[in-house]
């Protein structure tokens, strides 16, 4: 274990804080409010088109920090390895984490590795926790959402779930579908720096767009209306979802978020997003239609009907993240 | 999953930060340096005499923060649950975490839960990450250790490993052995507040006292001498270790640490420790005998011989923490 740490983790995540080799990392953080979050990653398989468990474990936690408007600074990483895991597999995952951390501008400063017996794990599970700093005075969250707010999404939905499923189930499609896995903190920072009064943010992971919107509607006690014709979703992804009986609204994404902004800033926010690498396919998909209610999400369908959007009970796709 | 979070985790870990239900917790921390650490817990079985995976996941991470002299403030908790886990088991573990967090004075402010298929996990794995604040100007770590420093331990060694093993292997002893699992941050704070110039701290978990001392000797490039006759270890624990072919020096502890202090303060530090709930069995076990060397640990045995203390290669007891 000592050799593993010295020869694999220390060089890969090379930085002076981790290199101290202490029980806890000692950090200098800017004064002010901090954000703190954690996620475990159990995606199956470990590698999928457009990503792997390593990059996902970095981006996922970075994105959770970004959803409260924080600038991500530091990550921890905890590995649970199954006995018999090929070291090349671990190496590949660790290198992917290193690259993802560079891309997202975070430093992995502390870590831990445990090994469980064969048949008591599944290759690699990773937990990352993250610390970010809040460098603005906005409160971002469901409580800030107001009637009339416009809702933007940063690109086409449902790709991550379909990409993972395709390799897991050995499905072959005539088309190539990459996960949308990506870091979103810079996109959020771009909006805030430009003076957009971001009211609420949420990344569209497990449970998809539907879960994110229903959660916000319920937490804030307001009604949301979206339009199916405005929802960006690739035709091939939509076709595969139809074939498999999935609703793209419920399929997980890893690099997608919704942004709630005041109506008067919606156009400007959309422009800023489209100019950003992580939101070129951004779209306005709906608005907040009523406040002070029980909270629900209604989608106007392509044929003009109204449909209540629900959270799924149970998991549509287990181990997608 | 939403129900699980609402009905089990939120009430158990009840606090306003967690209750916000955001992707990341927003924290106010005192200005200054922070400490950050993580550990995953895969102990088998989940419940053992004197503790369980829940209390351990809190104390273990709290203790890692304490080992750099930090006051623990906030924890994250990430659960990986195996499908089919009885909900009562999870409930018991969560209640144990709640009590342990109260006892250790930390707040669980953010969390995550993943479920893996039956046979791909082992009941419950828990990751906790922790944030603490450094409220003193001491640098604590191997680099601060000096020739002549005295080495103190806060109680009898090897109980945790033997306690876990006894239930795992279904061994029945005529004696009752509880794990030493306990939070150590208050003990460390007591020493620092009293003006003890703590040079180095390390908790004696996986790999036991031997690994902790060898790591410090190697990291600092100094030699350490300890005396077997000064090592606190219960006679029944020692007898069981002998029977099973284990060396108590290598057996894991969960509430034990070594403290390196300047010689002139050793007596005072020992007094302070003995007056503290978590160190009533404290003892001076040795000293730093040479600096600027390759670094090794020598133990003078009961019969007067000198033995080089090594780290074990491989794990003596897998899944002990």
Helix residue ranges per DSSP H, chain A: 2-4, 10-12, 16-19, 53-66, 87-104, 159-168, 185-193, 208-220, 235-244, 266-274
Q: What is the ipTM of this complex?
A: 0.95
| Candidates B31, B38, B201; nearest CB to A111 | B38
CA distance B81 to B265: 47
DSSP state of A280: T
Residue of A nearest to B28 (CA): A33
Mutate to test the interface with A, among B2, B20, B24, B31 (most CBs of A within 10 A): B24
Closest approach of chain B CAs to the CA of A277, in angstroms? Answer: 23
3-state secondary structure A110-164: EEEEEEECCCCCCCEEEEEEEEEEECCCCCCCHHHCCCCCEEEECCCCCHHHHHH
Nearest to B38 among A39, A120, A129 (CB): A129
Nearest CA in chain B to A122: B120
Between chains, do A35 and B24 touch, taking CB under 8 Å as contact? yes
Q: What percent of chain A has pLDDT over 90?
A: 83
Chain B residues with beta carbon closer than 8 angstroms to that of A115:
315, 318
User: Where do the DSSP E strands lie in B158-262?
Assistant: 200-203, 222-227, 257-261
CA A270-A272-A274 angle, 5° bins = 70
Residue A81 pLDDT more than 80? yes
What is the four-CA torsion angle of A140, A145, A146, A149, rounded to 10 degrees? 90
**Nearest alpha-carbon partner for A207 in A63, A309, A131:** A309
pLDDT digits (tens, 9 = 90+) for B114-147: 999 999 999 999 999 999 999 999 999 999 999 9
Q: Give, in degrees to the nearest 5, the angle at Cα B73 between B68 and B79.
A: 100
A36–B23 CB contact, under 8 Å: no
Confidence of residue A231 (pLDDT cuts 50, 70, 90): very high
pLDDT one-digit tens code per residue, A250-269: 999 999 999 999 999 999 99
Which of A55, A50, A53, A49 is CA-nearest to residue A82? Answer: A53
By Cβ distance, the residue of A2, A121, A129 closest to B76 is A129
Say yes or no for a CB contact (<8 Å) between A22 and B68.
Answer: yes
- Looking at residue A293, its pLDDT comes to 86
Q: Which range among A54-63, B6-15, B143-152, B202-211 shows the weakest confidence by mean pLDDT?
A: B6-15
Q: Do A23 and B37 touch (CB under 8 A)?
A: yes
Query: In the predicted model, is pLDDT for residue A316 greater than 80?
Result: no
Strands (E), chain B: 25-28, 33-41, 47-48, 51-52, 71-82, 107-116, 124-134, 150-153, 200-203, 222-227, 257-261, 283-291, 297-300, 306-309
> Do B24 and A65 make contact, defined as CB atoms within 8 angstroms?
yes
Nearest C-alpha of chain B: how many angstroms from A140? 9
Domains of chain B: 2-134 (3.30.1330.10), 142-309 (3.90.650.10)
For residue B310, the chain A residues in CB contact (below 8 A) are none
Residues in contact with A273: Cβ distance below 8 Å, sequence separation at least 6, in sequence order: A152, A154, A187, A191, A259, A279, A282
With CB atoms and an 8 Å threshold, state whether B129 touches A78: yes
Tell me how far apart the alpha carbons of residues A160 and A180 are, in angstroms, rounded to a whole number. Answer: 6
* DSSP notation for B88-154: HHHHHHHHHHHHHHHHHT-EEEEEEEEEE-TTSS-SEEEEEEEEEEE-S----SGGG--TT-EEEES
Which pLDDT score is estimated for A312?
A: 81
Q: pTM here?
A: 0.96
Q: Rounded to the nearest 10 degrees, what angle do helices A266-274 and A185-193 cross at?
A: 140
Whole-number pLDDT of residue B317: 79
CA distances from A268 to A186, A196, A261, B134 (A): 17, 8, 10, 43
From the list A67, A121, A129, which residue is nearest B23 (CB)? Answer: A67
Q: Which of A306, A256, A254 is nearest to A280 (CA)?
A: A256
CA distance A71 to chain B (A): 12
What CA–CA distance (Å, rounded) separates B9 from A81?
26
Number of residues in chain B = 321
- Interface contact flag, B203 A23, Cβ < 8 Å: yes
Question: Are B58 and A66 within 8 A, CB to CB?
Answer: no
Q: A36, B27: Cβ pair inside 8 Å?
A: yes
Chain A contacts of B202, Cβ < 8 Å? Answer: 23
């Amino acid at each position: 274990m000592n050799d593993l740490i010295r020869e694999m983790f220390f060089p890969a995540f090379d930085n002076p804080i981790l290199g101290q080799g202490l029980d806890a990392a000692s950090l200098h953080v800017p004064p002010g409010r901090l954000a703190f979050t954690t996620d475990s990653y159990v995606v199956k398989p470990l590698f999928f088109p457009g990503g792997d468990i390593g990059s996902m474990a970095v981006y996922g936690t970075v994105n959770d920090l970004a959803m409260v408007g924080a600038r991500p600074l530091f990550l921890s990483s905890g590995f649970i390895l199954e006995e018999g895991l090929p070291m090349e597999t671990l190496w590949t995952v660790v290198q992917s984490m290193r690259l993802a951390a560079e891309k997202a501008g975070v430093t992995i400063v502390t870590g831990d590795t445990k090994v469980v017996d064969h048949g008591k794990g599944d290759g690699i599970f990773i937990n990352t926790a993250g610390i970010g700093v809040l460098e603005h005075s906005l409160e971002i969250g469901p409580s800030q959402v107001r009637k009339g707010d416009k809702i933007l999404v940063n690109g086409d939905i449902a790709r991550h779930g379909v990409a993972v499923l395709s390799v897991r189930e050995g499905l072959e499609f005539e088309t190539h579908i990459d996960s949308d896995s990506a870091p979103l903190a810079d996109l959020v920072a771009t909006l805030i720096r430009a003076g957009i009064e971001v009211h609420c943010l949420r990344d569209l992971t497990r449970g998809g767009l539907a879960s994110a919107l229903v959660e916000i509607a319920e937490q804030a006690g307001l009604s949301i209306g979206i339009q199916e014709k405005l929802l960006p979703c690739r035709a091939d992804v939509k076709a595969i979802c139809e074939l498999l009986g999935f609703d793209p609204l419920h399929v997980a994404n890893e690099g997608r978020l919704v942004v709630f902004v005041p109506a008067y800033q919606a156009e400007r926010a959309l422009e800023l997003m489209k100019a950003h690498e992580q939101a070129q396919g951004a779209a306005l998909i709906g608005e907040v239609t009523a406040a002070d209610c029980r909270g629900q999400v209604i989608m106007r369908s392509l044929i003009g009907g109204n449909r209540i959007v629900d959270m799924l009970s149970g998991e549509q796709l287990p181990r997608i993240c």
